[in-house]
Amino acid sequence: MMRFIKDRAGGFSTSFALVGLFLAASVGVAVDYSIYANQRAAMKQSLETGVLAAVREAPVQGWDEDTIAAVVDSYVDANLRKASFGGAEYVLDVEPLPERGRVRATLWQNDHGYFVLGHFRKNPQIVVQAEAAIVSSANICVLALDGSAPAALSLGKARTSLTARNCGVFVNSTDRHAIHVEQQSTLSASQICTAGGYDARLVDMRPQPQVDCPVIPDPLAGRTPPSFGACDYRDVAVDRDATLHPGVYCGGLDINGTIEVKLTPGIYVIKDGPWTIGGNATLSGDNVGFYLTGSGSTMSFENSSNIALTAPRDGPMAGMLIFEDRASPPDRVFEISSKDAEMLLGTIYLPKGKLHVRGKNRFAGAAAWTAIIAREIVADDGPAIELNSDYAATDIPVPEGVGAVDGQVRLTQ
């Protein structure tokens, strides 16, 4: 009996030793994983810092490969020394892409001691990549915000044209056909840049679009919408010459007939109903801003209408001509088919909506500046859209972020 008990004691000791070994190995693996994760994070952060610095300095230092590589290497070396991984060996590969305003780099860690992993296999290699790009310094005349839609900017049939003078056209969609231009329609700007690709003939676009551009965050995302109170007007339908005043128009605003309607300066809130202009109506107003909020608050300007509007010069909607509530449902259509819409001075901001310009009309060409920032932008049936950026020609301010982007740099990978 005693011998049997002793045998069990020996077996227990052996089992305990095995369990202890297993626990020690588990702890070692956990420690190794922590080392691996921390080192990878330090490498990634160091490389990102390096490529951002290289892109930022390139316009001054030049795009020479050795110069760019030296900048990235200096940041990587300094940051990894601080991270106490000095015992590891690193290999750095840097690729300047001057034609796209980018720097791409890869960093390998080839050896670092581990508690457990090194006893069973070769120490794991760590590979991280980073890429940074200069965001264009061009003024923004057009920005399509949708990140994935095909034809987020679309110019359809009948010789539709979009000309952005001394300013850029930017499309955030990563779809391979993010920009669509039908044959004989044209797109022209100081710069055309898409995060995806394009479906168009090069002869119909000037200059050739840049592809795989960094996404431009909504420059008006932080813009505070105007505050408003209870309804001032309900279900307003205008069918004779009239002068309208700022306020909250609940149920929408309908202007229809061979009439002239003038707007006094201020903010017009269109709430829970559409803003429509039909017949041969003419709508004009200086220093006016429209805020569209609530159910059904879209707009439709029919092809026989005439509009001439300028944005406020001050106040909560300074520089903002049309402002869609950000809480609106996506993909609502805001249509401008007016036969004369040459004076639209200010920013048309539809963060959730689709702007549809159609018909053989001239759009915005008489305004000192016009900017369109919308989820999607579609034009067809022959409009001539002309967007200027002569900010000095008017006292109506361009919203911050809509003017030049000032050569900001961003990580793209």
In whole angstroms, give the CA distance from residue 113 to residue 28.
12
Q: Are residues 121 and 159 in the same domain?
A: no
Pick from 134, 157, 186: which residue ends a domain?
A: 134
In a domain, 152, yes or no: yes
When pLDDT is averaged across residues 25-45 and rounded to a whole number, the result is: 69
pLDDT band at 358; cut points 50, 70, 90: very high
Query: Is pLDDT at 310 greater than 50 in this prediction?
Result: yes
Work out how many domains the chain is built from and give that number.
2
Please state, for a pLDDT cut of 70, what percent of the chain lies above it: 83
Is 357 inside a domain boundary? yes
Separation between Cα atoms, residue 269 and residue 264, nearest integer Å: 14
Q: How confident is the model at residue 369 (pLDDT cuts 50, 70, 90)?
A: very high
332 and 225 within one domain:
yes
Encoding tokens for residue 305?
A: 């209408």
Q: 381 and 400, same structural domain?
A: yes
pLDDT at residue 5, as a whole number: 43
**Radius of gyration of the chain from Cα atoms?**
30
- Is the model more confident about 36 or about 24? 36
* Mean pLDDT within 191-213: 92
122, 152: one domain? no
Structure tokens at 13: 């000791």
First to last CA, the chain: 71
The 8-class DSSP code of residue 24 comes to H
Instruction: Let me know: does 388 contact 365? Beta carbons within 8 Å.
Output: yes
Max CA separation in the chain (angstroms): 115
Residue 370 included in any domain:
yes
- Kindly report the backbone phi and psi dihedral angles of residue 337, in degrees, each rounded to the nearest multiple of 5, phi listed first: -120, 10
Domain residues for the domain of 390 are: 140-411
**DSSP run (H or E) holding 57:** helix 2-61
Domain end call among 98, 116, 134: 134
Q: Specify the 3-state DSSP secondary structure of 325.
A: coil
Asked if residue 123 and residue 145 are part of one domain, the reply reads no
Residue 2 — pLDDT band, cuts 50, 70, 90?
Answer: very low
The residue-averaged pLDDT of 156-165 equals: 94
Q: What are the structure tokens assigned to 278, written together?
A: 């039909």
Same-domain status, 162 and 88: no
The H-or-E segment that residue 16 falls in is helix 2-61
Report the candidate in 394, 342, 403, 339 with the shortest Cα–Cα distance to residue 371.
Answer: 403
| Torsion, CA 155, CA 156, CA 162, CA 167, rounded to 10 | 0
**CATH number of domain containing 125:** 3.10.450
Cβ partners under 8 Å of residue 150, min gap 6: 173, 175, 176, 177, 178, 180
Contact between 86 and 111 (Cβ < 8 Å): no
Output the pLDDT for position 46. Answer: 87
Asked whether residue 192 falls in the same domain as residue 300, the answer is yes
pLDDT recorded at residue 30: 59
Q: How far apart are CA 189 and CA 233, in angstroms?
A: 42
Q: Are 221 and 140 in contact (CB under 8 A)?
A: no
pLDDT score for 316: 94
- Compute the C-alpha angle 21/27/31, nearest 5°: 140
Residues 224 and 335 in one domain: yes
pLDDT at residue 54 is higher than 90: no
Given 84, 108, 134, which residue is the final one in a domain? 134
Residue 67 lies in a domain: yes
Name the strands in the sheet holding 89-97, side by side, starting at the edge strand that comes first in the sequence: 89-97, 102-111, 126-134, 409-411
306, 396: one domain: yes
Same domain? 241 vs 276: yes
Same domain, 183 and 152: yes
Question: What is the C-alpha to C-alpha distance for residues 142 and 171, in angstroms, rounded to an integer?
Answer: 8
Burial environment of residue 386 by CB neighbours within 10 A (0 to 12, 13 to 18, 19 or more): buried
Q: Examine the domain organization and report whether 235 and 336 are in the same domain.
A: yes
Instruction: In whole angstroms, give the CA distance from residue 218 to residue 203.
Output: 30
